[in-house]
Amino acid sequence: MDYLTYELRGEIALVGLNRPEKRNAISDAFIEELAVVIRRAEAEAKAAVIFGHGPHFCAGLDLAEHVKKTPFEGVHGSRRWHEVFGWIQKGKLPWFGALHGAVVGGGLELASSLHVRVADSTAFFALPEGQRGIFVGGGASVRSARLMGLARMTDMMLTGRSVDVDTAERWNLVQYVVGEGEALQTAIALAEKAASNAEISNYAIINALPRIQDMASDDGLFVESFIASFTATSPEAEERLQAFLQKKAGKVARPGEAG
């Protein structure tokens, strides 16, 4: 692989963005390689972690390639980003992000397609497309805006504002903030927890929750009841529920305490 690294560590697929000389900028070839890796991870792993090699997670679109495209080629490329990132967001696996350095433009769009984001203290976030004379094209108007809210995204695009990791956490762009160099280790630990869940539960969480958010309240509650009933009758759910009832499984504990 030219732009990504792939390692299977137990049940966890580790996917590394590997264009450090370009700040891991995303090109068309990069996207096609990512498409292959996503399918490989789904076949081999129960959860996945994506991270960046070098000093940055991803600084966004490869502009040198983009300026050479016709408008139609640009639309086609944008739709391909939507498709491939959608395989992450609504696929088979829980995806965790280990973010550091620049999480900018297309890098933020990729991060927004993940299910859980861990950022270290070096991470910063921006959507500079407005200053480049273009518009977001990798899904930010839907995924990133739903994470942080319309007003904040509008501000970032109009002003070119860059926000630090603490602001990103307050804005819900990331769920965990850790010390410098600790994001990957933390993301792997979280992925291992998710990998230990029932696969049907993970699939329902990944695929049902975002769809329910798009529904009217009554429709969402109706769908929830069916999903809850379906997952509860699976053989794995029965086994896990019996283990809990027989006190063979730990109870939920306070943060920092053992279950």
User: Is 33 marked active-site?
Assistant: no
Cβ-contact 79, 129 below 8 angstroms: no
Across 144-171, b (16+ Cβ under 10 Å) vs e yields bbbbbeeebbeebbeeeeebebebbbeb
Q: Where are the alpha helices (DSSP H) in the chain?
A: 28-44, 63-66, 71-89, 106-112, 143-148, 150-159, 165-170, 183-195, 199-213, 217-232, 235-245
* Active-site hit among 7, 11, 129, 199: 129
Pairwise CA distance, residues 221 & 85, whole Å: 27
Phi, psi at residue 8, to the nearest 5°? -100, 115
Q: Which residues, in sequence order, are CB contacts of 150 under 8 Å at separation 6+?
A: none
The pairing of beta strand 4-9 with beta strand 12-17: antiparallel
The pairing of beta strand 95-99 with beta strand 116-120: parallel
Mapped onto helix, strand or coil, the DSSP state of residue 149 is: coil
Q: How many CB atoms lie within 10 A of CB 182?
A: 16
* Active-site hit among 109, 192, 199, 257: 109
Cβ-contact 174, 99 below 8 angstroms: yes
User: Is 109 marked active-site?
Assistant: yes
| 187 burial via Cβ count (<10 Å: 0-12, 13-18, 19+) | buried
Q: Which residues are catalytic?
A: 109, 129
